[in-house]
Chains A and B, each alone.
Chain A
Amino acid sequence: MEQDVARIIAELTAKEKEVADLKAKLEKLQKDSHTTASLHPMEDISSALDHLRKKASLNNDEIMRYSRQLLLPEFGVKGQVNLLKTSVLIVGCGGLGCPVAQYLASAGIGRLGLLDYDTVELSNLHRQVLHGENRIGWPKAFSAAESLKRLNSTVECIPYHMQLTPENALQLIQQYDIVADCSDNVPTRYLVNDACVLSGKPLVSASALRLEGQLTVYNYKGGPCYRCLYAKPPPPETVTSCSDGGVLGVVPGIMGCFQALEILKIASGKDSSYHQQMLLFDALEGRFRTIRLRPKQNGCVVCGEEPTVKSLVNYEQFCGSTATDKCRRLCLLTSDKRITIQEYKQILDDKIPHLLLDVRPLVEFNICCLSSSINIPLSNLEQCKPEDIALLKEKMREYKRNLQSPVQVYVVCKNGNDSQKAVCALQKMSGSELDSLEAKDIQGGLMAWAEKIDTKFPQY
């Protein structure tokens, strides 16, 4: 009896391992096939998509599936039939794009174009709800299409694993009825806007950061386009991305749901409520505010009476930033004022005396830090906050008890941008507010430390 049990347990364990191995193999194959199939060739864009079926009635499956929305007098069979013949291009399959695609597919939109150049990362999953743990490394466009297929196999999903560019944007957008801007950077927002104006498509646009969201419909029924509101791009240093500023996942979730709602209204034949209106959402206060916007501007360079932008331009140049939300690399200091992460490791190993100043915001310092570091956030340093200056002075005094000046300060931050600004600030204070010191920044910051020196150090 006991022998039988042991034998069966052993057999089960072996079988379970076999199943796990097979699953892993399958997953790898699926992932590889998606990655190799990745680049959607240009021909696919240029060859026009088939017309969506035009039909006046619904079949029994459709009636059952969509029954709860068919019961709404505001929507009804007519709304559903309209929806089934509408195509929507979703630019960006991230925090906004996922809920937009999810609700449009569930509601029975005819066709969804899913565009994203990026691949799924672990730090995306808290807000990009169509992607799962088993999708890490997949192109987001394919991951989204795969999830949507399970949700509603009758919706045609076309993934585009590519960047939207001035070269492909018109060709792509012309093939869709409505465009959803779910992108995460300024150049893409101007590009999508211009392409929608030039092809006469309504642009349902939302954005989210930290605990706030904004939504409006551009280029729609006499309302403004993006350029009518923002003729000049913001200075790049004033733009914060989700990877820098953070975002609570549910905030883009809420804004994406609003986008889906407005698209459903337009697609089913109703008007959007946000024509010449903008919705502002403050999640912390739990408050929505709707504001009246200016109408389409006669002097607008793209949608005005005498447009000067008649074809798509170079938007990265126009905005002075790249069309991604990835971190920019600053280069403020000469190489003699910088050390590599390997050099810093050597300094630690050789026990060379120094102060390590971490200039990240406290909230980031609380996530992780190097044990010997002192935290003075960059903004406090730049403002010469008295308590922080006092702390630094105190540490410098301790240092000089044993050693001669100048004090050697190494400055670290997350990626090696703010640390350079901090070195500039310290140089100005050296010999005046502070005793003379020698400051250098650590290139690549703590993320380089995590990547190259201590792989157990958290990345965020």
Chain B
Amino acid sequence: MKMAAPISIHLEFGGGAELLFDGVKTHHVTLPSQSEPWDVKQLLEWIKANLLKERPELFIQGTTVRPGILVLINDADWELMGELDYKLQDQDNIVFISTLHGG
């Protein structure tokens, strides 16, 4: 079986979501090689297992992000890109922004 090569991607957290990741906004990560190409659903599982420092329910609920977090794939709303099924490419930029409500 042909394995997909490892890929490097940029992750960003903002709007307060970074507080779940020790306050670090930008992470450059390498996803290991696997038989299928990585999709966003698998990325969320990877983040939960490898990056989330505390209270995962404030980031992930079920198999998707919790309500109130907007996901951007290369500066576009993930809804335009296939959401959880989007196949990650090397050097993709994935942003998780918590919605602000203050004024």
Contacts and interface: CB of A to CB of B under 8 A. Distances in A.
- Name, among A206, A233, A240, A242, the residue most crowded by chain B CB atoms within 10 Å (CB to CB): A240
Contacts of B97: 214, 280
A229 interface: yes
B92 interface: no
Interface stretch (A93-101, A193-201, A350-358, A408-416): A93-101
A293 interface: yes
B77 A209 contact: no
Interface in A225-244: 229-235, 237-242
B16 A209 contact: yes
Contact of B103 (A184, A245, A289): A184
A247 interface: yes
Question: Which range contains the number of B residues in contact with the other chain?
Answer: 20 to 34
A325 interface: yes
A289 B75 contact: yes
Nearest to A97: B103
Contacts of B72: 291
B103 A292 contact: no
Nearest to A294: B79
A282 B14 contact: yes
A214 B15 contact: yes
A235 B67 contact: yes
B42 to A, nearest CB: 22
Given A212-B15, A292-B75, A238 B103 contact: no
Interface string A205-226: 0111110111000000000000
B16 A240 contact: yes
B98 A238 contact: yes
B65 to A, nearest CB: 11
A382 interface: yes
A260 to B, nearest CB: 14
Contacts of B53: 383
A240 B15 CA distance: 10
Interface string A367-385: 0000000000001001100
B99 A214 contact: yes
Contacts of A232: 67-68
Contacts of A185: 101
The 4 closest A-B pairs by CB, nearest first: A234-B68, A232-B67, A294-B79, A207-B100
Interface of B: 14-16, 53-54, 58, 66-68, 70, 72, 75-77, 79-80, 97-103
25 contacts: A95-B103, A183-B101, A186-B101, A207-B103, A209-B15, A209-B16, A209-B100, A212-B15, A229-B77, A230-B68, A232-B67, A233-B68, A234-B66, A234-B67, A235-B68, A237-B58, A241-B101, A241-B102, A242-B102, A245-B102, A252-B102, A282-B14, A292-B76, A382-B54, A383-B53
